[in-house]
């Protein structure tokens, strides 16, 4: 078989087991260093950063270490009174990406009554286009990621009837490709992140039967490279965030067993930084909150002990979904 020039090597020096407390400490210290360069430069996606950190802390069973009051107050300030949407932080504009992050956090903290839910519903439904797609904000960028954000948002608030779900499904199905995957818009190439979004939407809508599980499942399991890591498209480098996008997608399709989980686990473990705590995209790179959440979430899907069970559609701890009484569609192989 051909060599894999686009892969990484896992050596004995890389961590082999979960550095659970290190990660909790990393997340905690991140939120404390508000003067840090890293912290200020991430202001334009702060709301999502908070969601990544809080969800990771919850999976690690250390959510109580985060300040609920501070977080809720921040989110309250970020809701745009006029449109109803949420911005990533003060002084920035509202967007669907951050509206979903805000709703995810509020649901996790049981604090939805602290904001205007009607405002959120108004904002999300106002962004649906004639063809069923969603714009990310009023400037009109269309992407299947935004379709997922919109549908997941209103599903969490139990207000799905406020958007046209059939049309949303119809648009997503127009983005399907001959390899079974999905892209950003009709005609776009398949990409594991977009596939996760589209399958998540179809799962919420109970429409996963429209997908050929054997075909797409194969494309997804072909993302695993000899190192055990997963890439997001053919002939690309592995990245720990795909351990979430791909594994969650395979879970929804009932085909998680199509990848080698022992090797996958080793790869994710190797992306931990034993000095700082946190996960990186590939062994040896810089850690960040994004990869820390998706590393932990991937391990949770693989059944790692010490981590709370995660829901493959909402990327939130399962106990929260149970508490809300929200169930998602998972197909059988």
* Single residue of 53, 84, 119, 217 touching other proteins by CB under 8 A: 217
Q: Please, what is the minimum distance in Å from the beta carbon of residue 242 to other proteins?
A: 11
Contact by Cβ (8 Å): 25, 67: no
Q: Please, what is the minimum distance in Å from the beta carbon of residue 20 to other proteins?
A: 21
Q: Please, what is the minimum distance in Å from the beta carbon of residue 179 to other proteins?
A: 6
Q: By C-beta, is 287 or 302 nearer to other proteins?
A: 287
- By CB under 8 A, is residue 126 in contact with other proteins? no
- By CB under 8 A, is residue 257 in contact with other proteins? yes
Q: Please, what is the minimum distance in Å from the beta carbon of residue 260 to other proteins?
A: 5
Two tokens, residue 197 = 């979004």
Q: One symbol per residue from 17 to 56: x for binding other proteins (CB under 8 A), - otherwise; what is it?
A: --------------------x--xx--x------------
Q: Please, what is the minimum distance in Å from the beta carbon of residue 258 to other proteins?
A: 4
- By CB under 8 A, is residue 58 in contact with other proteins? no
* Single residue of 11, 69, 305, 332 touching other proteins by CB under 8 A: 332
| Exposure of 218 in the CB half-sphere (CA atoms within 13 A) | 6
> Which of 78, 15, 21 minimizes the C-alpha distance to 49?
78
187: left (phi over 0), alpha (psi -120 to 50) or beta: left
> Which of 14, 6, 56, 20 minimizes the C-alpha distance to 267?
14
Burial tier of 228 (Cβ tally within 10 Å: 0-12, 13-18, 19+): buried
- By CB under 8 A, is residue 306 in contact with other proteins? no
> Which of 121, 98, 8 minimizes the C-alpha distance to 52?
98
Interaction with other proteins in 138-177: which residues (CB under 8 A)? 139-141, 177
Q: By C-beta, is 114 or 170 nearer to other proteins?
A: 170
Q: Count the Cβ atoms, other than its own, within 10 Å of residue 158.
A: 11
Those residues whose C-beta lies under 8 Å from the C-beta of residue 302, and which sit 6 or more positions away, are 247, 261, 264, 265
- By CB under 8 A, is residue 82 in contact with other proteins? no
Of 86-94, 109-117, 146-154, 160-168, the segment contacting other proteins by CB under 8 A is 86-94
H helix intervals, 206-253 = 213-221, 240-252
* Single residue of 23, 46, 191, 265 touching other proteins by CB under 8 A: 191
Q: Please, what is the minimum distance in Å from the beta carbon of residue 294 to other proteins?
A: 12
Q: By C-beta, is 111 or 330 nearer to other proteins?
A: 330
Q: By rule CB under 8 A, what count of residues binds other proteins?
A: 67
Contact by Cβ (8 Å): 8, 238: yes
Q: Is the dihedral of CA 75, 76, 78, 82 positive or negative?
A: positive
Q: Is the dihedral of CA 232, 236, 237, 238 positive or negative?
A: positive
Q: How far apart are CA 94 and CA 206, in angstroms?
A: 29
- By CB under 8 A, is residue 11 in contact with other proteins? no
- By CB under 8 A, is residue 7 in contact with other proteins? no
Q: What residues line the site for other proteins (CB under 8 A)?
A: 1-3, 37, 40-41, 44, 87, 91-93, 95, 137, 139-141, 177-179, 183-185, 187-191, 206-207, 209, 212, 214-215, 217-219, 221-222, 224, 226, 233-237, 239, 254-255, 257-260, 263, 273, 280-282, 284-288, 290-291, 329, 332-333
């Amino acid at each position: 078989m051909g060599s894999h020039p686009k892969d990484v090597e896992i050596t004995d020096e890389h961590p082999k087991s979960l550095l659970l407390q290190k990660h909790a400490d990393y997340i905690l210290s991140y939120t404390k260093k508000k003067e840090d360069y890293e912290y200020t430069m991430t202001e334009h996606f702060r709301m999502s950063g908070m969601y990544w950190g809080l969800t990771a802390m919850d999976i690690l069973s250390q959510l109580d270490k985060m300040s609920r009051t501070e977080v809720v107050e921040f989110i309250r300030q970020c809701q745009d009174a006029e449109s109803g949407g949420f911005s990533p932080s003060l002084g920035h504009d509202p967007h669907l990406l951050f509206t979903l992050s805000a709703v995810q956090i509020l649901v996790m903290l049981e604090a939805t009554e602290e904001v205007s839910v009607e405002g959120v519903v108004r904002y999300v439904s106002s962004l649906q286009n004639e063809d069923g797609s969603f714009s990310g904000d009023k400037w009109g960028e269309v992407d299947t990621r935004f379709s997922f954000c919109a549908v997941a948002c209103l599903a969490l608030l139990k207000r799905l009837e406020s958007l046209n779900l059939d049309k949303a499904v119809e648009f997503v199905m127009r983005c399907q490709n001959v390899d079974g995957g999905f892209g950003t818009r009709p005609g776009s190439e398949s990409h594991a992140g977009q596939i996760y979004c589209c399958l998540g939407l179809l799962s919420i809508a109970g429409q996963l039967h429209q997908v050929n599980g054997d075909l797409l499942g194969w494309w997804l399991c072909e993302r695993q490279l000899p190192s055990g890591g997963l890439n997001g498209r053919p002939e690309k480098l592995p990245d720990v965030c795909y351990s979430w996008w791909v594994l969650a997608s395979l879970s929804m399709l009932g085909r998680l067993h199509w990848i080698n989980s022992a090797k996958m686990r080793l790869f994710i473990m190797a992306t931990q930084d034993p000095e700082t705590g946190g996960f990186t995209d590939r062994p040896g790179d810089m850690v960040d909150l994004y990869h820390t959440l998706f590393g932990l979430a991937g391990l949770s899907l693989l059944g790692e002990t010490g981590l709370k069970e995660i829901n493959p559609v909402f990327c939130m701890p399962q106990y929260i979904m149970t508490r809300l009484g929200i169930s998602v569609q998972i197909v059988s192989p």
